[in-house]
Amino acid sequence: MPLLPLCPTTDIADGEGKRVDSPEGAFAVFNLGGEFFVLDNTCTHGPGNLGDGYVENEEVECDFHQGRFSIRTGAATAAPCIDPVRVWDVVIQDGHICIDPKAGHYAV
Ligand code: FES
């Protein structure tokens, strides 16, 4: 499966996230100390956008009801979120954050 490039690594500062819309759907991309992580953009609790959420302590706070998820594992870490969010293994290719769009999985 060809990799799907989401955005250049330089688009996301350390400790921040970004929503990226692609032909394969919307993803939330994060930079934690120069390590990049990709989650489904849509919160498992409702219509919130995780890519637009607030990043703190390696967690993202949903912009809709302020539930939280671990950016590393996708685990729900604060109510009202209960179900984990899907995560994607990241490959950096030519300075771009890429994923295999068929290989999303639940790490927890
Ligand atoms: Fe994300 Fe409710 S939609 S916490």
Domain boundaries, the chain: 4-99
How far is ligand 1, taken at its centre, from the CA of residue 54, in Å? Answer: 13
DSSP 3-state assignment of 33? coil
DSSP 3-state assignment of 39? strand
- pLDDT score at 108: 76
DSSP letters of 52-71?
A: GSEEETTEEE-TTT--EEET
- pLDDT score at 51: 98
Tell me the C-alpha distance between 98 and 108, whole Å: 22
How far is ligand 1, taken at its centre, from the CA of residue 67, in Å? Answer: 6
pLDDT in tens, 33-92: 999 999 999 999 999 999 999 999 999 999 999 999 999 999 999 999 999 999 999 999
Which CATH superfamily, name and number, covers 4-99?
A: Rieske [2Fe-2S] iron-sulphur domain (2.102.10.10)
Global ipTM: 0.99
Does ligand 1 come within 6 angstroms of the Cβ of 62?
yes
Copy the structure tokens of residue 92. Answer: 């950096």
The amino acid at residue 55 is V
Q: Of ligand 1's atoms, which has the minimum distance to the CA of residue 46?
A: 3
Best of 19, 41, 81 for a ligand 1 pocket test (most atoms within 8 Å of beta carbon):
81
